[in-house]
Amino acid sequence: MSQAAKQVKKIPALPKSATMPLFSDNAVTVLERRYLKKDDTGAVVEDPKDMLWRVAWTIAEGEKEFDSGADTKKLAIEFYEMMAKLEFLPNSPTLMNAGRELGQLSACFVLPIEDSMESIFEAVKQTALIHKSGGGTGFSFSRIRPCSDLVHSTSGISSGPLSFMSVFDCATETIKQGGTRRGANMAILRVDHPDIMDFIKIKADLTKLQNFNLSVALTDEFMAALKTDDDYDLINPRNGEVVKRQNARKVFKQVVKQAWLSGEPGVIFIDRLNADNPTPKVGAIESTNPCGEQPLLPHESCNLGSVNLAQMVSDGKIDYDKLAKTVSRAVHFLDNVVDINNYPLPIIAEQTKANRKIGLGVMGFADLLLLLETPYSSQKARDLATKIMAFVDKTAYETSIELAEKRGAFPNFPESTYGTKNPTVPLRNATRTTIAPTGTISILAGCSSGVEPIFALAFVRRVMDDDELFEVNPIFAEIARKNNFFSKSVIKKIAHNGSCHNLDEIPENFRIFFESAHDIAPIDHIEIQSAFQKHTNNAVSKTINFAHDATVEQVEKAYLMAYEKGCKGLTIYRDGCRENQVLNIGKTDTKPAVGDAAKPTKRDRPQSLVGRTYQMTTGCGPLYVTINDDDRGLSFELFNTIGKAGGCAASQSEAIGRLVSLAWRSGQQPEPIIKQLIGISCHKPAGFGENRVTSCADAIAQAIREHTEKNNGKRNQELHEETNMAFGACPECGGVVEHEGGCMVCHTCGYSECA
């Protein structure tokens, strides 16, 4: 009987005494959209408590792998209660698939790619199966010979690793992951690969590799050469020969520049990952999962889960007894998942069960700091991070020993040279702790994501007719109401300024700990990542936020600091450098100019008009926008033609042109039209920085803005600042998306670019 068949059994009724789940209305909406069972018509046929009971019962049944007569009901209730009270949640595939036909419960996979066509396309096939089952995949392309290298079997030349990355990207685009979202990939290339400079620069065009996060694997040798401004070897992986020497600083500056421009590539310190590899005799670590926090051997998978630290606070203090019980149960839960999981490939089942890696992390850290009235950027916060993660790691380690005593050590334990703090003590799990981004499960838990700060205490969501809806952090709202400084005007100021630090309406003793992401200096972000990494077996997923006006030199300093502080990798994000940012913070309430208040009258078109044509680069091809002015120099009409796209794109662009022309002929000014169209996103953005075009509608708006500025003879800086804050919306619900853990995540509906 397959593992999936074992999972799909009749589940007894949930005991009436069980706690009802504490899910918010928003969390229930996300559950209904993504997690709960649906019938053939798409109607939801499961409620949240039944979902949690389905998961708890199925995972508890894993006890029977070791004791066929085990009474699993008590354990199932324990698992249910910690999920219903939002103290712990497993990764999304477990919530979605436990006890159901698919039965695939892991989020993270790494696949090997050797230097042969057979290996490459076998990996493509395996990727498709993993994405179909709900997982995300990581790859190292470092074994593939470089571009233009000799191929003996055909007497031809190699197209190099970058061309094959595109094959994986196209395959991923066609597969809906678990029926909920596209699959996600991590592509890693070693810094000593001859094609490294092309890899670093590939996302200068953000239309490429949209289903990949990219990371450069920096070696200790490279970092040493960087420190002394020396050259290092570029090595052909086909034969191990040195191709040439490259200046380390030149390569590093290109990494930094490209990350400043687009947020990618990130970096991983590959030798540091392997220094903590628990089974080096089994194999070397070459890659991680899509968000970078889970290093894995080829064909390994890992199931993750997170403890909600916001639920571990009682009377203004951390309840370490409660934390210990939750961590211990969570480790037990995740260990059971290893056995009952329905793996997408037999070799993945074999490799995963040989090392039994699990990844228990935390979420709600920023909420915990707010509850403890502690600034995220303070030394106290760093000390708390170190203390909490040391406690979690120690408890997880002790629980893994207890499980090993009852069930046996992980099979590769004799091959381990690290793996335990005391190599003579058997462990059930080769690794126990990982800090993941927790994008969607933190929505369900109603807490902040992973160890990230609060992105904004309040933010604006724009809806139709330019209305503004304000979303407010619930802990801030509760504290503000309790202390009499909650008001609509305060919320509006915070939402538009992006911070409360300069608001006199809020007492200074509260302002100091109400920090959001952009109140925090990049070095303080790195300090928190470093503090958590000290006691995390695997790695820490963390985005280092930079302001839009941050310099390349500041980004460079962050990468060097991360290495010095013992981090295993780094992902940076400079505000506004990519297309999907829709948080409207830091804007002003300027109103468009208005003309005669009388009823507008449509003007007739003269026989001839003079204007300009603008070529805009879009994801659908070149868009030619022609804007004609009347004899007073006022915009009168707009025509547009898409160079290569037909059908829907062309017809919608024509429709926009007609409506804009009608508005102008009726007396409307260009500015409100620009504001309505700018930043509308589609799935084919193009360019980056100020040249970023997120859709054909956005391209038309940018052409109008440029034309208006030419007519006025000056740049409208206020209009640029206001419209540049809009970078599109969640493609599924139109809600706010934010960049965390190398991924765009919507905290309204749970959409994520990554697995």
Residue at token pair 């003996």: 152
Domain extents for the chain? 3-105+290-443, 108-288, 456-515, 610-723
pLDDT tops 50 at residue 2:
yes
Which backbone phi and psi does 474 adopt, to 5 degrees? -65, -35
How do residues 149-193 score in pLDDT, each as one tens digit? Answer: 877 666 668 889 999 999 998 888 777 544 444 568 999 999 999
Mean model confidence pLDDT for the chain:
87
How do residues 260-319 score in pLDDT, each as one tens digit? Answer: 998 999 999 999 999 999 999 999 999 999 999 999 999 999 999 999 999 999 999 999
> Architecture of domain 108-288 in CATH?
Alpha-Beta Barrel (3.20)
**Mean pLDDT for the stretch of residues 438-454:** 92
pLDDT, greater one: 642 or 154? 642
pLDDT of residue 417: 52
Query: Among residues 158, 138, 133, 120, which one has the least CA distance to residue 214?
Result: 138
Cα(352)–Cα(389) distance, integer angstroms? 25
pLDDT tops 60 at residue 584:
no
pLDDT tops 80 at residue 242:
yes
- 107 near 135, Cβ under 8 Å? yes
- 717 near 726, Cβ under 8 Å? no
pLDDT tops 60 at residue 726:
no
Strands (E), 434-497: 458-462, 468-472
pLDDT of residue 177: 42
pLDDT, greater one: 184 or 383? 383
pLDDT tops 90 at residue 218:
yes
pLDDT tops 50 at residue 587:
no
Does the annotation mark 373 as catalytic?
no
Q: What CATH class has 3-105+290-443? A: alpha beta
Query: Among residues 625, 581, 513, which one has the least CA distance to residue 730?
Result: 581
pLDDT, greater one: 8 or 698? 698
Nearby residues of 753 by Cβ (< 8 Å), 6 or more positions away: 181, 182, 184, 211, 743, 744, 745
Verdict on whether the full-model pTM lies above 0.85: no
Does the annotation mark 289 as catalytic?
yes
**Mean pLDDT for the stretch of residues 737-752:** 71
DSSP alpha helix (H) spans, 470-514: 474-482, 488-497, 508-511
**Mean pLDDT for the stretch of residues 640-653:** 73
Same fold, 3-105+290-443 and 610-723: no
Percentage of the residues of the chain whose pLDDT score is greater than 90: 61
Q: Which of 277, 289, 429, 584 is catalytic?
A: 289
Q: Which of 61, 87, 264, 293 is catalytic?
A: 293
**Mean pLDDT for the stretch of residues 229-241:** 96
pLDDT tops 60 at residue 728:
no
Does the annotation mark 471 as catalytic?
no
DSSP 8-state class, residue 573: E
- 338 near 358, Cβ under 8 Å? yes
Nearby residues of 257 by Cβ (< 8 Å), 6 or more positions away: 552
**Mean pLDDT for the stretch of residues 188-207:** 93
**Mean pLDDT for the stretch of residues 30-35:** 91
610-618 and 88-90 beta bridge pairing: unpaired
Cα(416)–Cα(430) distance, integer angstroms? 9
How do residues 324-337 score in pLDDT, each as one tens digit? Answer: 999 999 999 999 99
Cα(439)–Cα(290) distance, integer angstroms? 13
How do residues 567-583 score in pLDDT, each as one tens digit? Answer: 999 999 988 776 443 33
pLDDT of residue 505: 92
Q: Which of 63, 91, 97, 291 is catalytic?
A: 291
> Confidence class of residue 730 from pLDDT cuts 50, 70 and 90?
low
How does DSSP assign 376-419, residue by residue? TTSHHHHHHHHHHHHHHHHHHHHHHHHHHHHH---TTGGG-SSS
Report angle CA 730, 640, 707 to the nearest 5 degrees: 85
- 562 near 533, Cβ under 8 Å? no
pLDDT tops 60 at residue 467:
no
> Confidence class of residue 352 from pLDDT cuts 50, 70 and 90?
very high
pLDDT tops 80 at residue 53:
yes
Domain 610-723 has CATH 2.30.30: no
Cα(606)–Cα(44) distance, integer angstroms? 58
